[in-house]
Amino acid sequence: MQTRPFPVFETHRLRLDQLTKLDRQSIFEVFSDPKVVEHYDVELFKNIHEADRLVEYFDSRFTSDNGIRWAIRNKENGDYIGSCGFTHWNKYDHSAVLGYELSQKYWGNGFASEAVRKITDYLFSPDFHFYIHRIEALALPSNIPSGALLKKLGFKFEGTLRGKCYWNEDFHDMDMYGLLREDRTT
């Protein structure tokens, strides 16, 4: 059971803090947008209760110390614009798996880069509660902006995993990106 407080961060433009059910409407809007979900391994949300379940899932990952997910908020007004975090981590092989999404209206402004840089810096820092050597990220080959974001942050393209994921009644190839501690850019 997790006893550490949820880590909260600020960047130049963003506040990264814990998702709550107060975010449910904004989360629902993001995951009911076909343009967002076309690049994400979930089915299109059809009702608000799916957002509640997602918050509960992310809470359980943190509480059980298996992962963490931050709300990405505009620091000026507190608006929820997306989320980012680590779906899971493995203390034995010192790795973590990264995920993120943004509301479509915030695409192309560097918000995802700013948030992902902050949380990867945290995982590689002495402040994180165990040593992380590798962070992995999967992206659909068609998601060119996500691949570009990962490369900009120092992730290396490692290949395409054929038929890796299944959602919306189909198998999907996924591009694998990896960031080793020594690969980090400043």
Give residue 70's domain range: 9-183
Residue 55: inside a domain, yes or no? yes
Residue 146: inside a domain, yes or no? yes
pLDDT at residue 167, as a whole number: 73
pLDDT band at 3 (very low <50, low <70, confident <90, very high): confident
pLDDT at residue 38, as a whole number: 81
pLDDT at residue 52, as a whole number: 96
- In whole angstroms, what is the distance from residue 65 CA to residue 47 CA? 28
Residue 57: inside a domain, yes or no? yes
- In whole angstroms, what is the distance from residue 27 CA to residue 83 CA? 9
Residue 22: inside a domain, yes or no? yes
Residue 151: inside a domain, yes or no? yes
* CATH code for the domain of 45: 3.40.630.30
Q: What does the pLDDT average to over 18-38?
A: 93
pLDDT band at 2 (very low <50, low <70, confident <90, very high): low
pLDDT at residue 154, as a whole number: 95
Residue 1: inside a domain, yes or no? no
User: What is the tally of structural domains in the chain?
Assistant: 1
The sheet carrying 134-139 orders its strands as 9-10, 14-18, 68-74, 80-90, 95-102, 134-139, 170-180, 156-167
Tell me the average pLDDT of the chain: 93
Residue 4: inside a domain, yes or no? no
Residue 3: inside a domain, yes or no? no
pLDDT at residue 41, as a whole number: 72
- In whole angstroms, what is the distance from residue 69 CA to residue 144 CA? 23
pLDDT band at 82 (very low <50, low <70, confident <90, very high): very high
Using one digit for the tens of pLDDT, what is the confidence trace for 102-123?
Answer: 999 999 999 999 999 999 999 9
pLDDT at residue 185, as a whole number: 58
